Structure 1
Amino acid sequence: MENQLGKLYLIPTDLGDNPVWEVLPISIKKIIDFTDDYIVENEKTARRFIKQIHPEKSQPSLKLLLLNKFTEDSEKVSFLDACKDGKPIGLLSEAGCPAVADPGSDIVKLAHQNNIQVVPLVGPSSIIMALMGSGMNGQSFAFNGYLPIDKQERKSEIKRLEKLSQDHNQSQLFIETPYRNNKMLEDLYATLHPHTRICVACDLTLPSEYIKTYSANDWQHIKVDLHKRPAIFIIHKD
């Protein structure tokens, strides 16, 4: 008789250095209680997170597989072997929700292909929280990842997203490498129509949380330092 397949649990993590129980539900501890196999982006931070959630958990019993941009597709095929043996697997993101702007989506795809039950758990998503706090259209939106680094290509992409937002009444979300955040905001208000709205949402869930939406014109007169602060940018032209 074949083993019953184990489940793949999508386990959110916190978005920064704050008490985990301020942003995560107790249901996550219940899953970590009985799960020893994990797919993670970074072993050190994953172990630290698991220890925060369940201090009594035996660290030597944990089996961690590393998933990042360097992981070959041929390696990923075996990542769900524990589920095939009837054991649960936890998929952890470095920050926030797994499989959303995150390499974990490849593992979820494999789980579906192998008829393994996928169980997403409740936790913070910086993308959704930024949209919630922006005052922009939450009925239609798109997350665009990173914009081009090249100056002219970036300008063209900003204008393209602005036109999309106007033509489809669609909020356009994207991110930047944290040390380039200030330059990103400058590029936005220099490129966009003066009345196009820009939302900056950074340090979400942290004591230094900052969420503001102003027109491109107004942002030119606002002083804020976004350097090395995880941020989401949203634009919308009415």
Structure 2
Amino acid sequence: MDVQGKLYICPTPIGNLEDITLRVLKVLKEVDLIAAEDTRHTIKLLNHFDIKKPLTSYHEHNKREKGKLLIQKLLNGENIALVSDAGMPGISDPGEDLIKLAIESDLEVIALPGPTASTLALVISGLPTRKFVFEGFLPSNKKERREALLSIKSEERTIILYESPYRVKALLDDMLSIFGERDIALCRELTKKYEEIFRGSIKESINRFTQDDPKGEFVIIVKGAEKTKVNSISEEWAGMTIKDHLLKYTDEGMTKKDAVKRVAEDRGLPKNEVYKESIDI
């Protein structure tokens, strides 16, 4: 019987190269092939630790074709290490798809522990850590981003978001508009020389990053909605269906479009869910 290869999920440092684990180094030295999100980025890591192994690219734009090729190599007995540019492969990157393919092909997948920006930022934020939800990158389109924020407006758990420096100001503006004031922590350049943790309110963070152009990838930790506030809103509309709620506003002179938006905000629901109830009005 042919021996199948193993897929190793290898977290890499998010900034400080000393954060790599001994076990990850051992695996990178022993596998037959390393699949990297950006080979130009990964080669610097390998050179630093004097690791000389074949590299192949596996990223968002070639994952369909390359994924099949990598699975075939695993089936043929090659051991492959999957790495992303930084942190844990499979979290907000195309590694998720390769892992799924490997599991569907009955291949052994071994995940190694290591650095990940989301939990590091959560722990250092000073915000509640007992319960949290990871949302990753929200849509870059303004309308879709606002809809995504509206859908988590009533979330009581601490929220973890990722954002690029080019969109962080727009995200903060939308958060203030939809969430209102909340405690927040903006973490950038984690583990690097210019690491910064900004703790304060959403409005304070807007002021901070309006004065200085944001640099580096951001992990944003947002305090969840207050339970008492969420309950008071839900009780206000508890005896009314979504359709009756819509009719209340349209009878007051609102357009149906504005009524849908308002009801979604009142009830902490996605707009598309409210829109379905408005179709036959």
Normalising by structure 1, we get a TM-score of 0.82
- Match of 1:130? 121
- Rounded Cα–Cα distance in structure 1 between residues aligned with 2:86 and 2:194: 17
- Rounded Cα–Cα distance in structure 1 between residues aligned with 2:24 and 2:132: 29
Alignment match of 2:94 (pick from 80, 100, 103): 103
- Contact 2:153–2:178, Cα closer than 8 Å, also in 1: no
- Match of 2:40? 44
Q: Percent identity?
A: 25
- Match of 2:236? none
Alignment match of 2:190 (pick from 185, 193, 204): 204
* CA displacement, residues 202-224 of structure 1 (integer Å, 9 cap, x when unaligned): 11111222223323354455467
Amino acid at match of 2:56: L
- Match of 1:10? 9
- Match of 1:233? 220
Q: How does 1:43-122 map to 2 (within 5 A)?
A: 43-53=39-49, 55=50, 57-58=51-52, 62-122=53-113
In structure 2, the gaps of 5 or more residues are 227-281
Q: Note the C-alpha offset of 1:156.
A: 4.2
Range with greater deviation from structure 2 (209-218 or 123-132): 209-218
Amino acid at match of 1:173: I
Highest relative contact order (Cα 8 Å, sep 6+), 1 or 2?
1
Amino acid at match of 2:133: A
- Rounded Cα–Cα distance in structure 2 between residues aligned with 1:202 and 1:47: 24
* CA displacement, residues 106-147 of structure 1 (integer Å, 9 cap, x when unaligned): 111111112222111122101111112223343432222333
- Rounded Cα–Cα distance in structure 1 between residues aligned with 2:71 and 2:55: 12
- Match of 1:215? 201
- Rounded Cα–Cα distance in structure 2 between residues aligned with 1:177 and 1:138: 23
Q: Note the C-alpha offset of 1:25.
A: 1.4
- Rounded Cα–Cα distance in structure 1 between residues aligned with 2:142 and 2:91: 27
- Match of 2:168? 181
In structure 1, the gaps of 5 or more residues are none
Higher helix share: 2
Change (3 A) 1:122 1:148: closer
Normalising by structure 2, we get a TM-score of 0.70
- Contact 1:97–1:124, Cα closer than 8 Å, also in 2: yes
- Rounded Cα–Cα distance in structure 2 between residues aligned with 1:131 and 1:226: 23
Find the residue that maps to 2:42 and give its secondary structure.
helix
Range with greater deviation from structure 2 (98-107 or 34-43): 34-43
Q: Which structure's CA Rg is the greater one?
A: 2
Aligned residues: 224
- Contact 1:24–1:122, Cα closer than 8 Å, also in 2: no
- Contact 1:144–1:174, Cα closer than 8 Å, also in 2: yes
Find the residue that maps to 2:56 and give its secondary structure.
strand
Range with greater deviation from structure 2 (88-97 or 133-142): 133-142
- Rounded Cα–Cα distance in structure 1 between residues aligned with 2:146 and 2:73: 46
- Rounded Cα–Cα distance in structure 2 between residues aligned with 1:157 and 1:142: 14
- Contact 2:123–2:129, Cα closer than 8 Å, also in 1: yes
